[in-house]
Amino acid sequence: MADSLFTKIINKQIPAEVVYEDDLCFAIKDINPQAPVHLLLIPKKPLDRLSNAAADDQALLGHLMLVVGKLTRQLKIDGAFRLAINNGAEAGQSVFHLHLHILAGRPFHWPPG
């Protein structure tokens, strides 16, 4: 299977502004930000979407959640941020490599519309 856009970014074939990296995941600034802070937290494992995660991804998914906490505390946005995962094209997914959108710096409404 061809490498995803995000695999190409982590392999430095495509440039991006990397703001966090560890053994399992990395975070970049979204190229088309929808809020003053818009990061994408991406597992290095190229899982295509959340609904295809398996039991052996449990630790990875938990790790991503803990990194969200760490990153948002570091950026001092932990008081108010939105976390979003678009799963499937009809839900707005355009890059088929799991990623968590972390958005902050403006009001967010619910329901999102």
Note the residues at the interface with ligand AMP (CB under 6 A). 5, 14, 16, 28, 30-32, 40, 86, 92-95
CB closer to ligand AMP, 10 vs 77: 10
For residue 19, which amino acid is it? V
Token pair belonging to 43: 């597992």
99 is catalytic: yes
CB closer to ligand AMP, 9 vs 77: 9
Active-site hit among 97, 99, 101, 109: 99
CB closer to ligand AMP, 56 vs 101: 101
- In a 10 Å sphere around its CB, with 0-12 CB exposed, 13-18 middle and 19+ buried, how is residue 30 labelled? middle
* Beta strand residue intervals within 2-86, DSSP E: 18-21, 25-29, 37-43, 82-84
Could you tell me if residue 31 is left (phi over 0), alpha (psi between -120 and 50 degrees) or otherwise beta? alpha
Query: Could you give the residue numbers annotated as active site?
Result: 99
